[in-house]
Amino acid sequence: MSMAAPPSPVLALQARDVRKSFVSGRVRSSVLHDLSLDVYAGELTLISGPSGCGKSTLLAILSGLQPPDAGRVSALGESLDGLDRHALERFRLRHTGFVFQGFNLFPALNALEQVELPLSYLGLGKDEARRRAAAALEEVGLGPRTHLRPAELSGGEKQRVAIARAVAKRPELLFADEPTSALDAANGQTVIDILHTIARTHGTTVLCVSHDPRLVAHADRVLAMEDGRILSDRRLEPAPAPAKENLP
């Protein structure tokens, strides 16, 4: 299958012949079958597919969280294959951000503290961490709500805090696993718009997996996955400008 590349492609992630299976009891089930994939920098790429087809497993492998059984993975031009656990942890801390379905926020921290926390692991000073955290929350539209704890925020707002936390590090790679599936249509729409804007304005590579068909129209590129394989790869054309006579 040829891969749909943008006009001037810079590779952000590359998987070659990646294989993964899990053993439970005496049964080995194969989840990824010699999967190859290129993800280009600065785009929002969506991987859609039914439950259980291997999407989260693929994200875990591409982000260095899990090793493949066979095949090669490189990220930002660096091969992940030879890296030990410590080096992979450092890679993830410096270069990747994650957003999950369940938000994964700390109940006791307010929005600003949630976003500041990982910045302290990066070694940023307190003032710089606060400044960046406030800017990231502003960017997702939560400027006035930075003092609220998760229990005081709606689902959509919680997910926006999680996005701010992931992007405040300024990662080159942002991984999102079902970021909208706990949200209603309007909040899901806001979240995907924010992810798209992050790719556009910061040049961040956003790789999002979801079985939510509403997201398809908002991605730059859509890969359909089934049974551990990529079945189709299409690039969405930007929406055509409205015809002149339709303008007010």
Ligand X SMILES: Nc1ncnc2c1ncn2[C@@H]1O[C@H](COP(=O)(O)OP(=O)(O)OP(=O)(O)O)[C@@H](O)[C@H]1O
Residue 111: which of 102, 122, 103 has the closest Cα?
A: 103
Residues lying near Mg ion in the complex (CB under 5 A): 56
CA quadruple 183, 186, 187, 189: dihedral positive or negative?
Answer: positive
Q: Which is nearer to Mg ion, 31 or 44 (CB)?
A: 31
Q: How far is the CB of 60 from ligand X (least distance, A)?
A: 8
Residue 160 binding partner per list Mg ion, ligand X, none, with a CB distance cut-off of 5 to 8 Å that depends on partner kind: none
Say which DSSP state 67 is in.
-
Q: How far is the CB of 19 from ligand X (least distance, A)?
A: 13
Residue 235 burial (10 A CB sphere; 0-12, 13-18, 19+):
middle
Determine phi and psi for 75, rounding to 5 degrees. -135, 130
Q: How far is the CB of 35 from ligand X (least distance, A)?
A: 12
Residues lying near ligand X in the complex (CB under 6 A): 22, 24, 31, 49, 51-57, 211
Q: Are 207 and 75 in contact (CB under 8 A)?
A: no
Residue 31 binding partner per list Mg ion, ligand X, none, with a CB distance cut-off of 5 to 8 Å that depends on partner kind: ligand X
Q: Which is nearer to ligand X, 62 or 164 (CB)?
A: 62
Residue 53 binding partner per list ligand X, Mg ion, none, with a CB distance cut-off of 5 to 8 Å that depends on partner kind: ligand X
